[in-house]
Amino acid sequence: MPDDRGIPGAVAALLERVSAETQPQALLDTTSLRGRTAIVTGGSSGIGRAVALELARCGCNVAFCFLDSGAKARLDAHETARLLRQTETKVYFRSCDVRDSRDVRVFVGEVLREMGGLHILINNAGVSRDRPLWKMEDHEWESVVRTNLDGAFYFTRAVAPTMRAQEWGKIVNVASVHGTRTVFGISNYSASKAGLIGFTKSSALELGPMNINVNAVAPGYIRTTRLTEGVSPDVLDQAREHSALGRLGDPQDVAGVVLFLCSEAARHMTGAVIPVDGGYLL
């Protein structure tokens, strides 16, 4: 039977129930991250820095590595560490070559000793060396695949024993829309990111029984220094045109999704690949 008070009465009853909620509710509960320790590879700038800062703001202790390619890389790393320390969480960082399995193993051991635990891994380190495949040099292929794919494997392998022993872990791989849809001149990059997507799914299957979630984000064109300085304005204009939202993304757009995947809100998600591309793949 319809309410005798009619539509106005029903609306009033609904408003009465809603008004009982006096405190705004957080869109994403990140309390489970407080006190956890996260490793962010390539964490000194761009998406890596944004992710590290978001995790720290939620109470995570953060360890990050970077490739020491010169003074600029060292300055970026120290600036990231300064920003992280403002959150009053533990910070550990040093240069680590993700292509070197021994260096990776040593770095993970240092994090465990210095931070007292390890719960989250963000495989973000990545490079690009764009060139048509018939002009591509061996080192241009190898540096991209070894950084973007081998590095993720080395770090995942190194953290797996700790996460399996504690039966808890979150791993997020930073893939790319170009792992599923390529463009001219990025065969090395596309191959590495497609491989990373496959690795995400395999890792999720193997580590899932020990309560370890492994997922990936697939950013589109994100406004980082590497993008704005290394990609021509014409390509960026085309990227905007192909985006349903008509814009480029920011590192914080990716960091927000990574944060969700690390939270208990995503506890029943594993092996997923989430585009963060403004609708580029539509």
Instruction: List, by residue number, the catalytic residues.
Output: 189
Contact 175, 193 (CB under 8 A): yes
Complete edge-to-edge strand list for the sheet that includes strand 37-41: 91-95, 61-66, 37-41, 120-123, 169-174, 212-219, 273-276
Rounded-to-integer distance, Cα 222 and Cα 229, Å: 12
227 closest CA partner among 259, 191, 257, 189? 189
Number of helical H runs and strand E runs in the chain: 10, 7
As a whole number of angstroms, the distance between CA 56 and CA 69 comes to 25
What angle is formed at CA 60 by the lines to CA 57 and CA 66, rounded to 5 degrees?
95
For 256, phi then psi, to 5°, come to: -65, -40
CA dihedral (47, 236, 69, 86) in degrees, to 10, reads -30
**CA–CA dist 235, 241 (Å, integer):** 10
Instruction: Identify the residue whose tokens are 């990025």.
Output: 186
170: three-class secondary structure by DSSP: strand
Q: Report helix, strand or coil for 212.
A: strand
